[in-house]
Amino acid sequence: MMIRKFVKTERGQTLVELALVLPIIILILFGTLEFGRIFHSYIVITNAAREGARLGALGKSDEEIISRIREASPLYQADTRLRIIRLEPNESARNSGVPLTVEVAYDVELVTPIISSILPNPVTLKSTAVMRVE
């Protein structure tokens, strides 16, 4: 009889433990999702910078390089958040054997309120690709 009374008093303990642990689990889950979004965006802009550098290495113009970078980055609002920071050297100075540098930046807006208060919002990602002009 004493054992039954002891078991009945522990029923609320599970709810209290859940109430204490659930916010931490949710924070970890949303942190993982935000990290995945940021990492995906970084992979996309790295590929876009590489595509632009490859096109520039083949001797294409700056307009064609920028157009290819924008085509290769199917990100959300890439037209306003994607910036081509650097195309060096200038189109007229690109000779065979000279390294061409393409640097691309993209701003990722965080959507989770708690994580956006911890990290800077938006998170600016930069990627650089260097290829030798053929």
As beta bridge partners, residue 101 has 88, 130
User: In this predicted structure, what is the pLDDT of residue 2?
Assistant: 59
Per-residue DSSP letter, 109: P
Domain count, the chain: 1
* Spatial distance between the Cα atoms of 99 and 107, rounded to a whole number of angstroms: 27
The answer to the question of residue 57 being in a domain is: yes
Percent of the chain residues topping a pLDDT of 90:
57
Q: What is the mean pLDDT of the chain?
A: 88
75 — pLDDT class (breaks 50, 70, 90) = confident
User: In this predicted structure, what is the pLDDT of residue 74?
Assistant: 86
The answer to the question of residue 109 being in a domain is: yes
The answer to the question of residue 86 being in a domain is: yes
Residue 65 near residue 103, CB atoms below 8 Å? no
pTM of the model: 0.82
SS3 105: strand
Segments forming the whole domain that contains residue 102:
13-132
The answer to the question of residue 2 being in a domain is: no
The answer to the question of residue 39 being in a domain is: yes
The answer to the question of residue 6 being in a domain is: no
